[in-house]
Amino acid sequence: MQDLAEGVAYFQQDVFPAKAELFARLATTHRPHTLFIGCSDARVVPELITQQEPGELFVIRTAGNLVPAHPLGVDGADGVAAGIEYALAVLGVRDIVVCGHSACGAMTALAAGQDLADLPAVARWLRHAAPAGAPQDEVGVLIRNNVAVQLAHLATHPAVARALAAGAVTLHGWVYDIPTGTVERIDPATGRPTARAA
Ligand code: ZN
């Protein structure tokens, strides 16, 4: 916790003053251009990877960068769906990135068929990734396939479907490689890497 307190102090003294104009504008403006859906993994930091300033990315991070498909469960209390709906219908984001990453704990657990009896919430959550592949799949393949599956889930959300039909939004699949810092683009149709530049 001491690290966080020191970080806040450094932010206030050195970082904030250098961007005071930006933060003054952001006080009354929230107009991010992109919805970034990434993994909760501490090593995958959306603003760092993409070098975006505060205010530019609307971010949803879940374990395994999973996006439950529409319709929602019976209770309807789905934070991911709410974030997607808000980003599209209110903020009007023009691009959505679903970003997987190397060494993903969620995908590794699935690929290895790990016993999750002691992690019932994790086990339930990972069911949203189930169509991505069989447990024996190599984890790298599973990570890429999972991005494609989550893009398909994303398209089932009514706000996304409407925006896609209107040509108002573009979906992108990425896989971030932690040791090299590179980003691989994933073909949503095949789950395989594409040579196309961002
Ligand atoms: Zn992960």
Distance (angstroms) between ligand 1 centre and the Cα of 76 equals 25
Same domain, 83 and 6: no
Same domain, 124 and 187: yes
Domain encompassing residue 119: 31-196
Same domain, 35 and 124: yes
Distance (angstroms) between ligand 1 centre and the Cα of 169 equals 25
Same domain, 172 and 78: yes
Q: What is the identity of the amino acid at 162?
A: R
- 99 counts as catalytic: no
CA 105, 111, 114 angle in degrees (round to 5)?
Answer: 75
Q: What is the identity of the amino acid at 99?
A: C
Q: Which residues contact 159 (CB under 8 A, 6 or more apart)?
A: 84, 85, 88, 89
Residue at token pair 């290895």: 112
Which of 73, 72, 74, 66 lies closest to 85 in space, CA to CA? Answer: 72
Same domain, 98 and 139: yes
Query: Per the residue annotation, which of 70, 101, 144, 172 is the catalytic one?
Result: 101
Distance (angstroms) between ligand 1 centre and the Cα of 43 equals 9
Same domain, 9 and 39: no
Looking at every residue in the chain, the average pLDDT score rounds to 92
- 101 counts as catalytic: yes
DSSP state, residue 169: -
Q: Calculate the CA 142 to chain-centre distance.
A: 16
Query: Whole-model pTM?
Result: 0.93
Distance (angstroms) between ligand 1 centre and the Cα of 16 equals 30
Same domain, 116 and 22: no
Same domain, 39 and 96: yes
Same domain, 69 and 151: yes
Residues making up the chain, counted from first to last: 198
Which of 62, 64, 49 lies closest to 144 in space, CA to CA? Answer: 64
Identify the pLDDT of residue 197: 46
Same domain, 144 and 47: yes
Q: What is the identity of the amino acid at 187?
A: D
Same domain, 57 and 126: yes
Q: Provide the domain count of the chain.
A: 2
Q: Is the pLDDT of residue 128 over 50?
A: yes
- 137 counts as catalytic: no
Query: Per the residue annotation, which of 30, 31, 43, 192 is the catalytic one?
Result: 43
Distance (angstroms) between ligand 1 centre and the Cα of 104 equals 4
Say how far apart CA 154 and CA 49 lie, in whole Å. Answer: 22
Q: Model confidence over 72-104: pLDDT tens digits?
A: 765 556 899 999 999 999 999 999 999 999 999
Identify the pLDDT of residue 190: 84
Give yes or no for a contact between 142 and 107, defined as CB atoms under 8 angstroms apart.
yes
We report the CATH number of the domain holding residue 98 as: 3.40.1050.10
Q: H/E element holding 147?
A: helix 139-155
Same domain, 100 and 182: yes
- 43 counts as catalytic: yes
